[in-house]
Amino acid sequence: MNVGPQQKLFPEVAAGGYSRHDGGVHFYGRVNALIRPDSVVVDLGAGRGRGIVDDPVTFRRRLRELKGRCAKLVGLDPDPAVLDNPGVDEAYVIDPQRPLPMDDGSVDLIISDYVLEHVDDPTFFSSEIDRILRPGGWLCARTPNRWGYIGLATTLVPNRWHVAVLRRAQPDRKSIDVFPTRYRMNTRSALRRCFPPARYLHAVYGHFGEPRYFGHSAVLWRAIMFAARLTPEGLAPTLMVFIQKRGKPDR
């Protein structure tokens, strides 16, 4: 049996299928802590539901399955594949340059999982989030840090080569799940500009996950994980973004 670097480096994977550094478990665990049974939730960038459809790890997949844990889960995406997403109650195809199909102040929590790096117009994007989010509501996003190794490497590789490069680095990732990157909302300072601290509470931090972009070399994984111990948190490869709109909830 061919054992990959995850199993070699993280023996705890045998107990549940995920490592102590798993970003999906980390992110969706916190999302679950914020959701209430009466919450209206928007998955902004829901796509085809790759995390639910393709994830082989039962525990991580269940953390992502938010349908039924909240009052309503709405999936929004420019890709028509969202209409076939099995993990949402309602789905709409959106135009990134037009208003979102949600009423003002109607949403309690917005999830954007690996979406911010694809945003063309941060000002319009953040204004729409501000419009639909209730006071007290949360934006929960996971995205590459512009100053981490993923962000820096992606910036150096032209978008037209991303599919080919990711095919080598992550052979299990489908080309339909690779999109052009912009990196206009991927630093703490950019997030503060889009969501001013006077209006939003920022709980944003860096996360060092498994170095999946480095293929199946255990030696390379060990080197990257060792380097992570010496890397300042501000240069972590992933930003975990939890931002709350200030104000007393209206319900």
- Provide the pLDDT for residue 156: 66
User: Which pLDDT score is estimated for 151?
Assistant: 82
- The CA-atom distances, in angstroms, between 155 and each of 22, 32, 182, 184 are 24, 32, 8, 11
pLDDT on residue 139: 98
* C-alpha to C-alpha distance for 206 and 91, rounded to whole angstroms: 31
The tokens for 182 are 């912009």
Q: Taking phi first (over 0 means left), then psi (-120 to 50 degrees means alpha), and beta for anything else, what does residue 155 get?
A: alpha
- Residue 163 has a pLDDT of 46
Query: How does 146-169 read in b/e, with b if 16+ C-beta sit within 10 Å?
Result: bbbbbbeebeeeeeeebeeebeee
Q: What is the pLDDT of residue 175?
A: 42
Each residue's pLDDT tens digit in the chain (251 positions)? 345 778 888 999 999 999 999 999 999 999 999 999 999 999 999 999 988 988 999 999 999 999 999 999 999 999 999 999 999 999 999 999 999 999 999 999 999 999 999 999 999 999 999 999 999 999 999 999 999 988 887 776 655 545 454 455 555 545 444 457 889 999 999 999 999 999 999 999 999 998 876 667 788 888 888 888 889 999 999 999 999 999 987 76
What architecture is domain 5-245?
A: 3-Layer(aba) Sandwich (3.40)
Q: β-strands 40-44, 90-93: how paired?
A: unpaired
* Contact criterion met (CB below 8 Å) for 163 and 207: no
Q: What b/e readout covers 5-27, taking b as 16+ CB neighbours within 10 angstroms? A: bbeebbeebeeebbbebbbbbbb
Question: Residue 54 in contact with residue 44, Cβ under 8 Å?
Answer: no
Distances (CA, A) of 54 to 83, 121, 174, 175, 210: 17, 30, 10, 14, 18
